[in-house]
Amino acid sequence: MKPLLSLSIVSHRQAELIRPLLANLACCGLADFEVLLTINLPEDESAYADHPFPVRIIRNPVPKGFGANHNAAFAASAGRWFVIVNPDIRIDALDVAALLAPFDDPSTGAVAPTILSVRGTVEDSVRRFPTLGRLSRRVLLRQREPDYTWQREPISVDWVAGMFVVFRREAFEQVSGFDDKRFFMYFEDVDICARLAQRGWTIRLQPQVAVVHDAQRDSHRNWRHLRWHLVSALRYLIGL
């Protein structure tokens, strides 16, 4: 019998981050799901054994980027809904019915919950599509006002950050998943939402569900990640 949800998690030697996430999944009341865990760099896999749900491990002979890893997991998945989950996400409880409710609208292609910081503040995880002006104001002028406000009802947004996103399987297939040729890391989430929108799919935020992001912001402190971030931004903006 096929699971309802397929959760894709990618590890870059991040067992210590993923261990509590898997423990969350065992305790948060989530049912009828599988986990596809991609080992992007060799590591001790003992943290991934003995869980009360299926964990399918994909081992890469060479490291892949964000999109390529999740695309491969999607190809191996069986769930009706495909969920990408960052290793640093924490889930105390997950109301699956509420999370999937926006999909009652057949135009909905992807849904994300509210993302909270470890301090309980709402993170800036839903935004309008980037333009050179918007990026300049954010980076140079440090203008970080939220692009959207919401109450309790789901809202349509341009794009959602790829920390925790549920995709309708047909929508993900229709756009051939993430563009892993143009983007190695960063901006894949912007790009896939833009391509979904071009095909008539809607991206929605579901404020009635929240998860916690224990942020690991590599691009803020790692020059290689910062370079990937800048290259991806340029590729998105000028269409390379």
In tens, the pLDDT along 102-134 reads 999 999 999 999 999 999 999 989 999 987 666
Quick check: 96 and 30 in contact, CB under 8 A?
yes
Give the per-residue pLDDT at 27. 86
Average pLDDT in the 187-193 region? 93
Give the helix/strand (H/E) hosting 88. Answer: none
Which span out of 36-45, 49-58, 207-216 was modeled with the highest average pLDDT?
A: 36-45
- The dihedral sign for the CA sequence 193, 195, 196, 200: positive
Q: Pick the range with the lowest mean pLDDT from 148-157, 182-191, 206-215, 223-232.
A: 223-232
Alpha-carbon gap, residue 60 to 108, rounded angstroms: 32
Q: What is the pLDDT of residues 66-108, one digit of tens each?
A: 999 999 999 999 999 999 999 999 998 899 999 999 999 999 9
Average pLDDT in the 147-171 region? 96
The tokens describing 53, both together, are 């749900």
Give the per-residue pLDDT at 184. 75
Give the per-residue pLDDT at 143. 58
Q: Pick the range with the lowest mean pLDDT from 2-11, 153-162, 166-175, 214-223.
A: 214-223
Residue 234 predicted with pLDDT over 90: no
Smallest CA-to-CA distance from 28 within 105, 89, 71 is with: 89
Give the per-residue pLDDT at 220. 47
Does residue 110 come out as left (phi exceeding 0), alpha (psi in the -120 to 50 range) or beta? beta
Alpha-carbon gap, residue 30 to 85, rounded angstroms: 14
Give the per-residue pLDDT at 237. 76
Q: Which of 183 and 59 is assigned the larger pLDDT?
A: 59
Chain mean pLDDT for the chain: 89
Alpha-carbon gap, residue 178 to 188, rounded angstroms: 6
Is 5-238 assigned to CATH 3.90.550.10?
yes
Which span out of 31-35, 67-71, 184-188, 233-237 was modeled with the highest average pLDDT?
A: 67-71
